[in-house]
């Protein structure tokens, strides 16, 4: 049972480059989300999706795009990487986004933008 799988685990980008962080879950969860984790700031929500074809912005969406074409996959795109996007990124999924649903997190992607 894989749970939530993120790739890559580590990535170094140059300023201005674009890339996609992959996230896949095999638990048939409707709700998926992307967080970034910076020292002393906890987990901040970037984008989320309540089901295939539906996405919405979180607390810090600027510079990131998402799409949800299938229930399983929720990729995060960095359009033009900036040093401020250096962070650890976590994808999470849960049965539903509302109450009474625990979130399952992927292993994380450590991104450095130089």
Partner 1 sequence: GQQVMQIPQYQHVQEGEDFTTYCNSSTTLSNIQWYKQRPGGHPVFLIQLVKSGEVKKQKRLTFQFGEAKKNSSLHITATQTTDVGTYFCAGYNNYGQNFVFGPGTRLSVLP
DSSP state of 16: T
Residue 61 near partner 1 by CB under 8 A: no
Q: What is the closest distance, in whole angstroms, from the C-beta atom of residue 68 to partner 1 in the complex? A: 15
Binding test (CB under 8 A) with partner 1, winner from 58, 61, 63, 75: 58
Long-range contacts, stretch 63-72, CB < 8 angstroms, 24+ apart:
64/34, 66/34, 68/32, 71/28, 71/29, 71/30, 72/24, 72/25, 72/26
Binding test (CB under 8 A) with partner 1, winner from 90, 93, 111, 113: 90
Q: What is the binding site for partner 1 (CB under 8 A)?
A: 33, 35, 40-45, 48, 50, 56, 58-59, 90, 92, 97-100, 102-108
């Amino acid at each position: 049972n894989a749970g939530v799988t993120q790739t890559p685990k580590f990535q170094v980008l140059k300023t201005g480059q674009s890339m996609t962080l992959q996230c896949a879950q095999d638990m048939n969860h409707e709700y998926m989300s992307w967080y970034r984790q910076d020292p002393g700031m906890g987990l901040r929500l970037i984008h989320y999706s309540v089901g295939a074809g539906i996405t919405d912005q979180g607390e810090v969406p600027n510079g990131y795009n998402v799409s949800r074409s299938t229930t399983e996959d929720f990729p995060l795109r960095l359009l033009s990487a900036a040093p401020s996007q250096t962070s650890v990124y976590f994808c999470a999924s849960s049965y539903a986004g509302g109450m009474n649903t625990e979130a399952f997190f992927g292993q994380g992607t450590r991104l450095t933008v130089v």
